[in-house]
Amino acid sequence: MIVRRERPADHAAVRALHTLAFAQDPVTGAIRAADVVPEARLVDELREDAGFLPHLSFVAEDGERLLGHVIATRGWLEPYGTPVLGLGPLGVHPAAQGNGIGTVLVHALVAVAEACGERLIALLGAPEYYRRFGFVRSMDLAVEPPEPAWGDYFQARLLSGGPVKGAFRYAEPFERM
């Protein structure tokens, strides 16, 4: 498996991968039609947004096909506009899930973000999964989730630059989800 930065030639395959990875609605469990998978559409919109950071969009491939994709985009902590990162979506092809591909992608993204001097990464996801990467409940770091109801599912990891605090805001395309 190779992990590398996403290229423009990968866009269609990344969209197809997220369509498959998120075909089942994570809340209701219902199978969604390919044209209504918001995570696939979100990645396309994030690439067009001012918050897109090309060096923080990675794919995993086996030489023949894409197995996974992860992206982090510019987020902010209000009221001061402190720049931070929002991770997601993270998608792995259903046939490749459970093989550590998501783990490798998250480690790669965190390593590059830290090397670039980013201060914090926040995400909405399963605490049981993201805890192994050093993510904790965001409120434990004085970072308020965009939606208070997200509670323990909104997590953050402090990278460098000392403590931060404030209300987290994702890149604008997340607001349309």
Domain boundaries, the chain: 2-175
Helices (H) and strands (E) in the chain, counts: 5, 9
Q: Band of the pLDDT at 63, cuts 50, 70, 90?
A: confident
Cα 89 to chain center, whole Å?
A: 4
Rounded CA-CA distance 136/59 in Å is: 25
Task: State pTM to two decimals.
Answer: 0.94
What's the pLDDT tens digit per position in 14-57? 999 999 999 987 778 888 887 889 999 999 999 999 999 999 99
Amino acid type, 124: L
What's the pLDDT tens digit per position in 92-121? 999 999 999 999 999 999 999 999 999 999
Rounded CA-CA distance 151/93 in Å is: 28
Q: Band of the pLDDT at 167, cuts 50, 70, 90?
A: very high
Rounded CA-CA distance 24/26 in Å is: 6
User: What is the CATH number that goes with domain 2-175?
Assistant: 3.40.630.30
